[in-house]
Amino acid sequence: MTIQSVIQSKLSNAFHIGHLDVVNESHMHNVAPGSESHFKVTIVSENFDNLMLIKRHRLVNTALSEELQQIHALALHTLTPQEWLDRLGKVADSPNCRGGGKNQ
């Protein structure tokens, strides 16, 4: 089972999901082909209603505590259903990789 599929499964089980998108962005970084080191997660859940951003992220980090030991980066977009609607179902693109020491 891939790390990406484990992330999807664990989040689906831990939250009431309105929308979930788990993207392996490792190819955008200075890593070996086929790596699973960088992920972008967009999760829309009513579980986030009335919670500050830090509490939302802590909930996700708790659900993925084992996976966070194996990956390098996790970009989180944690939204309530209303926030998702207000954003028209869009989140920011991840920034370009800065090389991670590749040019040093």
Q: What is the pLDDT of residues 17-26, one digit of tens each?
A: 999 999 998 8
Burial class (CB in 10 A: 0-12, 13-18, 19+), 47: middle
Confidence of residue 82 (pLDDT cuts 50, 70, 90): very high
Mean pLDDT for the stretch of residues 76-93: 94
Q: Does residue 68 register a pLDDT over 80? A: yes
CB 14 within 8 A of CB 63: yes
* Domains by residue range for the chain, with CATH: 3-86 (3.30.300.90)
